[in-house]
Structure 1
Amino acid sequence: MMAQRKLLSQQKSRLTKEAQDNKRDTEKAMRQLTSLAPEPPEWLDDTATDEWHRIHPLLEELPVASLDLMLVSTYCQAYSDYINATKRMNNSDVIIETERGTKLNQNHTIKRDALSQLNSIAPKLGLTVESRLKILEPKQDTKSDKSVYEMFGIEDND
């Protein structure tokens, strides 16, 4: 798995001025990407479409672009799968009886798989608190007005 690329504001190591400029230019270019269309893909079911309309205005606050269409639509469909499987399970047991014995209700498997997808996709889009904090963390000012002596509590007697 490839490590996620950090925004300039997320860098903990000191970057050279040139590296900072390159990163800033990249982030500026990222903000100029084509926006995610407000209308969902037609292949989403009704529940997924409702989720699209709920999160779309919120996604506009994050660096999500049209290139993220598949991630957003897959997230919405996984949400729908989870909700609909949960509703179906309200009318049946987790373990069901068959002529061959007992087995796990397939809706439980659908819920588990959908939740796994949601948990995988959500941080990539900034849909979790932790991922938003990383994306929106303000740039730290690495310069200090204190001298090296003041920073380490040493008197400059020389």
Structure 2
Amino acid sequence: MRPKKLAGATSGHFTKEQLEEKQKEEEVLYNYDRLNFNEVPNGVVPGAVGEWKRIANFIKDLPISELDQQTVIRYCNYSYLYDDAMQQLVAEGHVIEGKKNPLVDVVNSYSKELKVTASELGLTINSRLKLVKPTEVEKEKDDPFGDMLGGG
């Protein structure tokens, strides 16, 4: 079974009744208490507070509820840990005494966790496409390459 997409992100051919049903299903997502980004929860490590505040502006309109709090906390913490480990790796180098720096594995592990949590929260391009249908970008009228290709 394919993962569901929000009605506004679908591009298939649906009847009016199917779209109405889909929208009714989605309304349930907004029945939960919205996650309050004005208060930083206890689980956010001190270095991750900036990321908590930063992403609040980007995901506040998504159906992120109090139920998602732990996922947001994980994302913020892993973001901080990844940045910290990457800075250490850059300072030490990826090879130490002829061997791979153990921080390479740490950075890779944090990167994987970030990828999973970012996707769960709609922070990746692919996950956003499941939430919001991209609008067509209007083609520039003075496009010499487009004219050459017949798109003029």
TM-score interval, normalised by the smaller of the two chains: 0.7 to 0.9
Contact 1:40 / 1:73 at 8 angstroms: preserved in 2? no
The match for 2:60 is 60
Cα separation, 1, equivalents of 2:125 and 2:64: 16
The match for 1:134 is 130
The 1:137–1:11 alpha-carbon spacing in structure 2 relative to 1, beyond 3 Å, is closer
More relative contact order in 1 or in 2 (CA 8 Å, sep 6+)? 2
Contact 2:122 / 2:131 at 8 angstroms: preserved in 1? yes
The match for 1:120 is 116
Contact 2:10 / 2:133 at 8 angstroms: preserved in 1? no
- Quote how far apart the aligned CAs of 1:17 are: 4.9
- RMSD between aligned residues: 2.4
Cα separation, 1, equivalents of 2:13 and 2:42: 46
Number of equivalences: 134
Higher Cα radius of gyration: 1
- Quote how far apart the aligned CAs of 1:36 are: 0.9
Q: Does 1:35 align with 2:31?
A: no
Percent of residue pairs bearing the same amino acid type: 30
Contact 2:33 / 2:65 at 8 angstroms: preserved in 1? yes
Cα separation, 2, equivalents of 1:42 and 1:77: 12
Q: What 5-or-longer segments of structure 2 have no aligned partner?
A: 135-152
Render the CA deviation track for 1:10-52: whole Å, top value 9, x for unaligned.
Answer: 3444445554333211111212221112223323222212101
Q: What TM-score does the superposition give when structure 1 sets the normalisation length?
A: 0.71
The 1:47–1:14 alpha-carbon spacing in structure 2 relative to 1, beyond 3 Å, is same
Contact 2:85 / 2:103 at 8 angstroms: preserved in 1? yes
